[in-house]
Homo-oligomer: A and B are copies of this chain.
């Protein structure tokens, strides 16, 4: 006879509803494949009155997730509420402490409290899984944690946020200003009610934090050790220059080991238009992992949306159905490197090529002033672009673009501080990292 797996679901937004939709449609199929019966023993959300894609009367409703766990004694508690602490944290912790397996899609919570919850889960001999927290339906967590556990990974680089990728793709493909593309994304429902976490790169950084720990086998680093820059300063004209230079601008999340030091950042970056990452369009996510053994391996798929993210929740149910307890980050928490001991590179010491766009008054001497500041900060110029005056620039200011050779970011920062004090410069310069192949 098949074993019964009882699941209780808290949070009935897009993902929670999709999990229920999936189970209503495919429960027999799934049961056959995993040789276990799945039963939803409780559902929970803050507002019982909201209209939903399924009939809530088929299930036992709870207003409070801890109460649900207490009263239904599930085998698996699925947390899809998504608050960074509060009720999500309380209910997950309660479940773990009562030996209930946990599945969550909550990257903010995991990035911030994983170091507390992972060892607790290990101690209580339950699975705490979160495939759905990163890159929607791409099973990247399981790949790193299991298939690549023996690999010496040196770099992970990904497009981990569908909303910002949609905005940048839209700006690129349709030559739109940021504000217009942003409004489009909002109208299409691709942005959260509060879109700041997406736009400022925080959401990407939460995901990167989890992937970085998995790849480099260390406890989660302090969240603020990830340098984070959003996309709101990118202009249509920068996209245009990127095209001219055969680049595409993507919001990349990168974690890399260089000379035993860890580099972690989320930034808009100009990448070669022929790279697979450059082709990741719209709301898709893409991830490239480099290891000594495999060279580069690349994954692409739907990074958001109910059915894709629900697919990852289901894959975690499949995993738990096998009765195989495993540590959240693939290896025993005590065997992970201590994050305090990691040497994390100061963002000012990032060493790259950069794109610098200045708006300057087309007057004698201005170029000489700028280049002398660059030279004083040891920045050498690879390319200078001064296009014929564009019709879009009706005033006296014209854009001046520099592509630098590789240099430390503090040189860029310091020279920019000098340059903006010059008389004939308008606005804050735009600086974008360039990754050459």
Q: Which residues of A contact B (CB under 8 A)?
A: 22, 26, 29-30, 32-35, 131, 137-139, 142-143, 146-152, 217, 274, 276, 279, 291-302, 307-308, 310-312, 314-315, 317-319, 322, 324, 326, 330-332, 335
A294→B307 contact, CB < 8 A: yes
Q: How far is the CA of A142 from the CA of B335 in the complex (A)?
A: 25
A26 to B150, CA, bound (A): 8
**Given A146-B318, A315-B148, is A296 in contact with B307 using a C-beta cutoff of 8 Å?**
no
For this complex, 14 residue pairs linking A to B, each with C-beta atoms less than 8 Å apart, are A32-B331, A34-B331, A35-B331, A139-B147, A139-B148, A147-B315, A150-B311, A150-B314, A276-B276, A294-B301, A295-B301, A297-B299, A297-B301, A298-B300
- A427 to B138 Cα, complex, angstroms: 47
B299 contacts A26, C-beta separation under 8 Å: no
Known A139-B147, A295-B301, A298-B299; further 11 A-B contacts with Cβ < 8 A: A22-B150, A35-B332, A137-B295, A146-B318, A147-B318, A148-B311, A151-B311, A292-B307, A297-B300, A297-B301, A324-B324
Distance in angstroms from A321 CB to nearest chain B CB is: 9
Measured CB to CB, the nearest residue on chain B to A22 is B293
A310 and B295 within 8 A (CB): no
Select from chain B the residue with minimum beta-carbon distance to A307.
B293
Closest 9 pairs (CB-CB, A-B): A139-B147, A297-B301, A150-B314, A293-B311, A324-B324, A137-B294, A298-B300, A147-B315, A293-B307
Docked Cα-Cα span, A279 to B298, in Å, equals 12
Copies in the complex: 2
Q: Are A322 and B311 in contact (CB under 8 A)?
A: no
Of the candidates A274, A307, A319, the one having the most CB atoms from chain B within 10 angstroms of its own CB is A307
Enumerate chain B residues within 8 angstroms of A332, measured Cβ to Cβ. Answer: 35
B302 and A301: CB pair below 8 A?
Answer: no
> Taking CB as reference atom, which chain B residue is nearest A144?
B139
Identity of the chain B residue whose Cβ is nearest the Cβ of A29 in the assembled complex: B152
Q: Which residues of B lie under 8 Å from residue A308 when comparing CB positions?
A: 293-295
- Choice from B34, B138, B297 contacting A149 with Cβ under 8 Å: B34
Who on chain B is nearest to A308 by CB?
B294
A172 vs chain B, min Cβ distance (A):
14
Q: How far is the CA of A8 from the CA of B330 in the complex (A)?
A: 26
B146 engages A33 (CB within 8 Å): no
Q: Are B138 and A297 in contact (CB under 8 A)?
A: yes
User: Distance (Å) between the CB of A188 and the closest chain B CB?
Assistant: 17
Shortest C-beta distance, A250 to chain B (Å), equals: 15
Contact of A137 (CB < 8 Å), options: B138, B293, B301, B326:
B293
- Bound Cα distance from A29 to B310, whole angstroms: 34
Q: A217-B33, A301-B297, A332-B35 are in contact. Are A315 and B146 (CB under 8 A)?
A: yes
Bound form: Cα–Cα A302–B310 in Å: 30
**A150–B301 touching, CB < 8 Å:** no
Whether A291 touches B319, Cβ cut-off 8 Å, given contacts A139-B143, A149-B33, is no
Q: Which residues of B contact A217 (CB under 8 A)?
A: 33
- Name the B residues within 8 Å of A138 (CB-CB): 297
B residues less than 8 Å from A29 (CB atoms): 150, 152
Kindly name the residue among A29, A150, A291, A300 whose own CB sees the greatest number of chain B CB atoms within 10 A.
Answer: A150
With both beta carbons as reference points, the residue of chain B lying nearest to A136 in the complex is identified as B294
Q: Shortest CB–CB separation between residue A107 and chain B, in angstroms?
A: 18
Instruction: With A279-B276, A311-B151, A318-B150 as known contacts, state yes or no: A298 contacts B295, CB within 8 Å.
Output: no
- Chain B residues within 8 Å of A335, by CB: 32-33, 35
A151 to B317, CA, bound (A): 12
Determine whether the beta carbon of A330 is less than 8 Å from that of B295: no
* Distance in Å: Cβ of A24 to nearest Cβ of chain B: 13
CA of A137 to CA of B142, assembled, Å = 15
